[in-house]
Amino acid sequence: MTVLVPILGDQLSLRLASLQGCDPADTVVLMMEVAEEATHVRHHQAKIALILSAMRHFAAELREGGWRVDYVSLTDPDNSGSFTGEVIRAAQRHAPRLIRVVEPGDWRVEQAMLDWQTFVGCPVEILPDSRFLCSRDEFAGWAAGRKELRMEFFYREMRRRTGILMEGKEPIGGKWNYDAENRSGPPPGLKGPPLPRFAPDAITREVLDLVAERFGQHFGSLDRFNWPVTAAEAEAAAEAFLRQRLPTFGQWQDAMVVGQDFLFHAVLSPAINLGLLDPVDLSRRAEAEYHAGRAPLAAVEGFIRQLIGWREYIRGVYWLEMPGLAEANFLAAERPLPDFYWTGETSMACLADCVRTTRDNAYAHHIQRLMVLGNFALLAGIRPQEVADWFLVVYADAFDWVELPNVAGMALFADGGRLASKPYAASGAYIDRMSDYCGTCKYDVKVKTGPRACPFNALYWHFLARNEGKLARNPRLANPYATWRRMTEAKRNEYLASADAFLQQLQPASGGWAHAHKTTPDREDSPC
Ligand code: FAD
Ligand code: DLZ
Ligand code: SF4
């Protein structure tokens, strides 16, 4: 009797724990294209195409490696549409003695997985995901008894554990964190090198046609599809980043430039999250660039901190805080998501450009996500669950474990400060300093109130004022609250009235977009 090894669409690694120790002669690998995963939220078209193409390529690689793969395609007429339905059908086909699977990245999927054993008539072994440095249990141990979870201390543990950028017990260069040397505003004309091109092969072309046909009503475009879909392509993308963009990664990490969608970012998160690249290998290779004198320490440390610091920490927080994190709303934000998050139709140049790159590329870089799209949602008081659904839909790298803590915890402070020591709230001055957006905008970033004023300015004070009861005691907000209190009452009222006037004219998402979150799978031939 065989062992059945289901591999999910974001588990595409030959090093996956469930494959280790299995004999290919006695194993059936199960891969399932299922409608529920594409429609429980209506994912960006390019994201669906990326995952299906990467899955099909991975199945081919497994077969070449001698594994028997039972691959259920979306077009299979008997496809039940869900992981559980497909595991039940596969158990009937193969009568396995054991099902061996790696824990999923999504709490929702784990709940379903925990029930599999009751349906399949054999034991189901759920293994820890060894692609992460820090297991869920280890993170829970680290977090136990801490009131606030701070990434910096966790990150130091990961540096010690891996020895990356370490000299014995000390950090190389004498400092753990070189953030202060990174993050300059962009000079005029700042341009990143072009990304490597990955021409769609026959498998990808077939998937693109399938997605256009079945999910063509979803947000986003397939026109610029250029994601690496195999480990070999992901390797080429990583190599191009390490050589061409890593040296200046830190310096321009927070810069935003109209029409420059990638600048010096890695653009590797989808490949990493799918399993095509190993983040610890990547960190070691970045470290080697420093030792070879090809990249400065500040850039290399900054990049490594994102991978073995932030990424691991975010995942730990997700499993620690779920399922409560999905409903968290510390600031009681209840405004619906504005329509422009879907259409890009807004006179705010920063938001319009961030939605455009999101639609065209299924990508926006960190500061666009945090300080433009997230910051606006925070200041305007948009309901966290609607914001989280939007972020889960629109980015090629978005999986619940990484999207939700970033949105609810980092961007929206919906967890009340478990993850971030203060809300990432900023007025237009920050966006002006870090971008060239304001020069192209209908609004004037220097004007504080009234119809010509940058909306972020009055919204910033409106946010602080309406949340004073919850935030005023935060020591990191002492200065802004002191400034607010020093203002005349007339000035304060002017800010509040200006923000209210702006908020009143915001259009909530309408039509199909408002229903981006589906709780039941649907047939994709119906218009949204
Ligand atoms: P780079 O800027 O080049 O960073 C290098 C790598 O570090 C990334 O590839 C990624 O693997 C990792 N990384 C950096 N920051 C984070 C972080 N905060 N959390 C986890 N990993 C990180 N990242 C996702 O992978 N999926 C998401 O759904 C996602 N949603 C986000 C939502 C919001 C509101 C915010 C503020 C951040 C979100 N991030 C998410 C984190 C980060 O923005 C992306 O990882 C990054 O933009 C991916 O682009 P890159 O590969 O060019 O990253
Ligand atoms: C996101 C996604 C999509 C769109 N489709 C599939 C699929 O058809 N089959 C699959 O195995 N995985 C898919 N995924 C990724 C899953 O949603 C992801 O593996 C789970 O959410 C667990 O993180
Ligand atoms: Fe954005 Fe305000 Fe600048 Fe316009 S002026 S681009 S709205 S920050």
Give the domain ranges of the chain. Answer: 3-127, 136-200+214-321, 330-515
Write the residue with the smallest CA distance to atom 46 of ligand 1: 366
CA of 243 to the centre of ligand 1 (A): 20
CA of 346 to the centre of ligand 3 (A): 11
| Single-letter amino acid code for the residue at 242 | L
Query: CA 258, 314, 42, 201 torsion: positive or negative?
Result: positive
- What are the backbone angles phi and psi of residue 257, rounded to the nearest 5°? -135, 130
Contacts 24+ apart (CB under 8 A), 243-248: 243/289, 243/294, 244/193, 245/192, 245/193, 246/286, 246/289, 246/295, 246/299, 246/300, 246/303, 247/289, 247/294, 247/295, 247/296, 247/299, 248/299
Which atom of ligand 3 lies nearest, measured to the CA of 440?
6
3-state helix, strand, coil in the chain (%, to 5): 50, 10, 40
| Single-letter amino acid code for the residue at 15 | R
Cα–Cα distance between 49 and 56 in angstroms, integer?
11
DSSP letter at 78 equals T
| Single-letter amino acid code for the residue at 7 | I
* Residue list, ligand 1 pocket, CB within 6 Å: 265-269, 272-273, 303, 306-307, 310-311, 314, 365-366, 369-370, 374, 391, 395, 397-398, 402-403, 406-407, 410-411
Ligand nearest to the CA of 311: 1
27, pLDDT greater than 60 = yes
Write the residue with the smallest CA distance to atom 2 of ligand 2: 37
Ligand nearest to the CA of 436: 3
Task: Classify 124 as helix, strand or coil.
Answer: strand
515, pLDDT greater than 60 = no
Cα–Cα distance between 423 and 437 in angstroms, integer?
23
Of 227, 325, 366, 400, best ligand 1 pocket probe by most atoms within 8 Å of the beta carbon: 366
| Mean pLDDT for the chain overall | 95
Which atom of ligand 1 lies nearest, measured to the CA of 253?
2
pLDDT-based confidence at 179, cuts 50/70/90?
confident
Distances in Å between the Cα of 465 and the Cα atoms of 309, 371, 421, 483, 490 are 33, 20, 19, 12, 14
Q: What CATH number is given for 330-515 in this structure?
A: 1.10.579.10
Cα–Cα distance between 456 and 427 in angstroms, integer?
5
Instruction: Provide the percentage of residues in the chain whose pLDDT is more than 70.
Output: 97
pLDDT digit string (tens) for 93-122? Answer: 999 999 999 999 999 999 999 999 999 989
Quickly name the fold that domain 3-127 has. Answer: Rossmann fold (3.40.50)
Write the residue with the smallest CA distance to atom 43 of ligand 1: 366
391, pLDDT greater than 50 = yes
Q: What's the average model confidence in pLDDT over 419-427?
A: 95
Cα–Cα distance between 251 and 182 in angstroms, integer?
4
**Helical ranges in 400-451 per DSSP H:** 400-404, 428-434
DSSP letter at 31 equals E
Q: What's the average model confidence in pLDDT over 191-220?
A: 97
CA of 368 to the centre of ligand 3 (A): 13
Write the residue with the smallest CA distance to atom 15 of ligand 1: 306
For residues 236-253, one letter each, b for 16 or more C-beta atoms within 10 angstroms of the residue's C-beta and e for the rest, the string is: ebbebbbeebbbbbbbbb
Of 397, 403, 415, best ligand 1 pocket probe by most atoms within 8 Å of the beta carbon: 397
Which atom of ligand 2 lies nearest, measured to the CA of 401?
23
**Is residue 34 within 6 Å of ligand 2 at its C-beta?**
yes
The per-residue pLDDT for 114 is 97
158, pLDDT greater than 80 = yes
Longest pairwise C-alpha distance within the chain: 79
Task: Classify 121 as helix, strand or coil.
Answer: coil
Length of the chain: 528
Write the residue with the smallest CA distance to atom 52 of ligand 1: 267
Quickly name the fold that domain 136-200+214-321 has. Answer: 1.25.40
pTM above 0.75, yes or no: yes
CA of 136 to the centre of ligand 1 (A): 20
**Is residue 460 within 6 Å of ligand 3 at its C-beta?**
no
Of residues 43, 90, 31, the one with CA closest to residue 521: 43
486, pLDDT greater than 90 = yes
What is the side-by-side order of every strand in the sheet holding 3-6? Answer: 68-72, 27-32, 3-6, 98-102, 124-127
DSSP string, 472-523: TT-GGGHHHHHHHHHS-HHHHHHHHHHHHHHHHTPPBP-GGGGG-B-SS---
**Is residue 349 within 6 Å of ligand 3 at its C-beta?**
yes
88, pLDDT greater than 60 = yes
Work out the burial of residue 165: count CB atoms within 10 Å of its CB; fewer than 13 is exposed, 13-18 middle, 19 or more buried. buried
Ligand nearest to the CA of 340: 3
474, pLDDT greater than 80 = yes
The per-residue pLDDT for 511 is 56
pLDDT digit string (tens) for 300-309? Answer: 999 999 999 9
pLDDT digit string (tens) for 48-85? Answer: 999 999 999 999 999 999 999 999 999 999 999 999 99
Distances in Å between the Cα of 144 and the Cα atoms of 156, 319, 325 are 17, 13, 17
DSSP string, 90-109: HHHHH--SEEEEEPPS-HHH
| Single-letter amino acid code for the residue at 44 | H
CA of 270 to the centre of ligand 1 (A): 9
528, pLDDT greater than 90 = no
The per-residue pLDDT for 147 is 81
pLDDT digit string (tens) for 264-285? Answer: 999 999 999 999 999 999 999 9
